[in-house]
A and B are shown apart, each in its own frame.
Chain A
């Protein structure tokens, strides 16, 4: 009785020898295959890393953010709302926050200006001091110890000594950031006392969030409440959507690749067709040929998949995904320049596998079968 494993081993032996013999043809296929895997893998790894990054940032976000709505739009939050919120049972702390955007005519970029929170001791800034993001520093050539100079639309001047420049660790959200004191903030934006941009509410027991939102809605009917998981969901769908768009674009490339693979698999060279004919005549069965060709496709796929994924990993995590940054980030003119934390996840790999190896295999099955059913008496004619 023939052992199926021994038979497969022989078939693999033969396949390896055959791949070696047609190195030129297979190298071309491998290169294109690898490129397809590389592009797709880069997009997916990058999106996943960015998503992870934002999740890490969100972990520090307050459980609940409260915004005042004026005519259905985000308005300024009166200070007395803070007291009403504090009065709700289960609320640990309430903090009014000041933050906003500033369009810098000097270089056409948008900055986020913000007053650091009370408990963020490491970022505390006194009047006349500032901490700025790495992107802002880079684009305007600001340095630590130097002066931050901004002129508002109404001509107010903000001049502050740069206490420090934020590191690259979570540059995605902090890149265009400038932290300044409350006094400077209110003066620069001509903002009266007693109003805030919004409020951050921390809650003792996360299970009570829904209940507290319910109570707070009654206490502050004009306010909007955004929970941390709402933000997470928004981020998630935003990233997924962008990633999906890239993947949809890549689908066109994959389709083209599948057609190319099918073409390649059916356009056998005379030499190869003769070889299959010989094998069939000397006693190889159709299933042997199919199995042998599947091994061939499998080995090429494995090689391309591994190579493409490793290259993509290097591209994304060592070279910060130079190719895709503008597409996937791009929420500000200031692109963060930072290294993503290396991260690979099984779902992404599985998806990548389905999106590359399966179309390739599907495209080559019919040509493989067509090759395998060569008449065994072909070589005698």
Chain B
């Protein structure tokens, strides 16, 4: 069933990203082996110039992959009418074993690409390309991830058969079942909110510690990753109930539909963006001591921490507002 315009578009994006990363990884190997800033040779100059190309291409890949991630979910939602049992994206993604892995890999690609772009921005501020080897090592690691995401997506679309009876959010996001989705929805509402509150507290603490001593950047990043998981769990187990005003409808995708005023975007966009920024300081702190970055990194980290804190705050406010304004009352 790949002859559908949105599917062809998604496959096109994956093919482009895969080809770009494959090439970039090959270039990365060359950088790791031949990089020599001392040399004024043409070959070195060529390498330096090509890093501009890689930065531009990866920024492009990241923008396109972000767009594709939205398109992927949106399209999955739209295709729901084609599968018996599917009411939204969950059902469509469940038609075969590759749907959810493809989604998870796409999310991983988004975070990896955003992390790389932040590292690239930091590196370009140092006069001696201080992070160049790290950066291209990272490209070599990201390439298989992008290819795997593309492959999972292809396998998923090739495996779509309209006669499959699938199970949708009402079945998958049911506490009684096994699996990650069920684990998340099975989370007690109160516990999920407490976990989220705890994650916020941990993040605030990590931010405060980081403010006092720059050694705690890694802690902030870990707290940030934790808040991401806690945030998603809270959305699936609790916040969704308040949005749907229904005590048993745990679905992370229906939130994105027009019926609910595209409410999900208010939750997901800040959470994803904040996390993309929040996980970077820990990585940057590895190079804090590098002389050429001594001036640039603290400022960049400050902006990343401040930016992610602000976005997490938006996410927190949206969660609280949802619970406060919902007609559903879970806790008496």
Contact = CB atoms under 8 A, between A and B. Distances in A.
State if A and B touch, Cβ cutoff 8 Å. Answer: yes
Interface of A: 44, 47, 229, 232-233, 236-237, 240-241, 243-245, 247-248, 251, 286-287, 290, 294, 346-348, 350-355, 358-359, 361-362, 365-366, 368-369, 372-373
Contacts of B83: 233
Nearest to A241: B3
A248 to B, nearest CB: 6
Interface string B63-79: 01001101100110010
A199 B233 CA distance: 48
B52 A233 contact: no
B153 to A, nearest CB: 14
Of B6, B7, B10, B70, most buried by chain A (CB within 10 Å of CB) is B6
Interface of B: 1-10, 12-13, 16, 49, 52-53, 56-57, 60, 64, 67-68, 70-71, 74-75, 78, 81-84, 162
Given A358-B13, A366-B53, A351 B84 contact: no
Contacts, number: 95
Given A233-B81, A237-B1, A362-B16, A247 B8 contact: yes
B74 A290 contact: no
A229 B8 CA distance: 25
Contacts of B7: 244
Contact of A236 (B8, B52, B82): B82
B56 to A, nearest CB: 6
Given A233-B82, A351-B71, A354-B68, A251 B8 contact: yes
Given A240-B4, A245-B3, A347-B6, 8 more contacts: A233-B83, A236-B81, A347-B75, A350-B67, A354-B12, A354-B13, A355-B5, A361-B60
Contacts of B162: 233, 237
30 contacts: A44-B5, A229-B81, A229-B84, A232-B81, A233-B81, A237-B82, A240-B3, A241-B3, A247-B5, A247-B8, A248-B8, A251-B8, A286-B52, A287-B52, A290-B56, A346-B74, A350-B71, A351-B6, A353-B67, A354-B9, A354-B10, A354-B68, A355-B5, A358-B12, A358-B13, A359-B12, A366-B53, A369-B56, A372-B52, A373-B49
